[in-house]
Amino acid sequence: MGLLLDPGLTGYTLAPDGPAAPGEAVDVLVCRHHRLPRDRMGQRLSPSGRSLIIQALATTYGARVAPGDLERDGHRRWSVPGLELTVSVAHCGEFSAVALAPAARAIGVDLQDERERPYALRWLGELLGRQEAATIRDFAECEALIKASHLTKETFAGTRLPPWRPGWRPTETAAAAAGTDSGAGATGTDSGAARYQLRSLVLRAEGAPPLHLALACDAPAPVRFHHLERE
């Protein structure tokens, strides 16, 4: 699909076609879904998160699982206990992203396009303690952090994003500073004042506007990208 990462970024691997093997890396499958059906308002109907995860497991690891093999914890984080994986999923227009990590890790992924949303970005900027509106990159990172952690949109106030740079950046949540955060994965244990890690980049696919992809994890890990085109 001509998937390109921002030039100059390090710490990412664009994986070769074909199944890989689970390990310490975070594997991210970016999929472009052509000919998605539309609703009565003309909006694209995205596949369900569960179906995207099942597809990602088959594509990335060659693993065949049933819907009942997927679980969600009290923070709505996905896991696949039989494969010892935690999972996060996002979709935006005709694109989706599924992040797969070892079970001991908490993982979150988000995709955002660059459409105008001034009110939401102004509100997020205030929530992040800034004088200016947030950016689309900030928006994606906040969503990924919520998916990886105990945080919700209601308890997010007090969280601060570190200045952007390539690679993982530690982010201390307000709850972590108070010693109440849990950065454990679906099968892990509470770790006290855990600090989540964030990283983000811009994806550029042929014939499509840029997409901001963000990852959140409770520890740094190598990242491998996989891609798939679906009719």
Other CB atoms closer than 10 Å to residue 54's CB: what's the count? 21
Q: Which two tokens stand for residue 156?
A: 């997010």
Task: Note whether 108 and 144 are within 8 A (CB).
Answer: yes
Whole-angstrom Cα distance, residue 202 to residue 73?
30
Is the pLDDT at 2 greater than 50? The verdict is no
Tell me phi and psi for residue 90, to 5 degrees. -150, 155
Output the six-digit token pair for 191.
Answer: 């770790």
Judged against a pLDDT cut of 60, whether residue 187 lies above it is answered with no
> CA dist 66 to 44, 180, 194, Å?
26, 35, 33
Residue-wise pLDDT tens digits, 120-148: 999 999 999 999 999 999 999 999 999 99
Task: Note the pLDDT tens digit of each residue in 9-40.
Answer: 444 444 545 566 777 889 999 988 876 555 56
The amino acid at residue 12 is Y
